[in-house]
Structure 1
Amino acid sequence: MLLVLMGLVAFSLIRGIVAFLKTTRIDLESGEAETASDMQLAQNKAMFARIKYQALAIVVVAILLAVSR
C-alpha cells in the first residue's frame, strides 16, 4: 500500500512539473505573463493530488509504526 502511494506521489509531482514547464514555455514564447487557465488548472490539480497522496502515505506509516509497537 505504501509503495503504491509513493508511486502516486511521484506521478503527481511529475505531472505538476510538466504542466508548470509548459506554462513557463507558453509565457516565454508569448512574451506575456498571462497563460492559459487550462495549464494553471492542471498544475493545481496535480499538486493537490500529490499532497493528498503524501498525506495518505503518512497515515499508512503512522499505522505501521503503531502496529509494530
Structure 2
Amino acid sequence: MTVFLAILLVAAMIATLVALVRGIISFLQATEADLKGTGPSVASARSNKMMQQRIFFQALAILIVVAILFVTGRT
C-alpha cells in the first residue's frame, strides 16, 4: 500500500512540475500588446489555467503525503 502511495506521490509531483513549467512558458509568451489589451488574452488565460492545475496537483500531493503518514502510523 505504501509503495503504491509513493508512486502516486511521485506522479503528483511530476504533474505539478509539468504544470508549473507549462504555465511559466505560457506566461512568457504573452506579448506587450496582450498585456495592454482589454481583457485576458489567450496566452494569459492558458497561463492561468496551468497555474490552477499546478495548485490542484500540489494539493493532491499533500493529501497523498497525509495518507502515507496515516498508513505508516506517524500521525
Determine if the TM-score, normalized by the shorter chain, exceeds 0.5: yes
SS of residue paired to 2:37: coil
Structure 1 gaps of 5+ residues are: none
Q: Could you list the structure 1 runs, at least 4 aligned residues long, displaced by more than 3 angstroms after superposition.
A: none
1:62 to 56, 60, 66: 66
Residue 19 of structure 1: how far off its partner (Å) = 0.7
1:34 corresponds to which residue? Answer: 37
- Aligned pairs, number: 64
Q: CA RMSD in A?
A: 1.6
1:5 corresponds to which residue? Answer: 12
Structure holding more helix per residue: 1
Q: Distance in 2 between matches of 1:11 and 1:34?
A: 28
1:21 to 13, 17, 28: 28
Structure 2: which amino acid aligns with 1:68?
A: T
Q: Normalization by structure 1: what TM-score?
A: 0.84
Residue 40 of structure 1: how far off its partner (Å) = 1.1
Structure 2: which amino acid aligns with 1:13?
A: L
Structure 2: which amino acid aligns with 1:50?
A: R
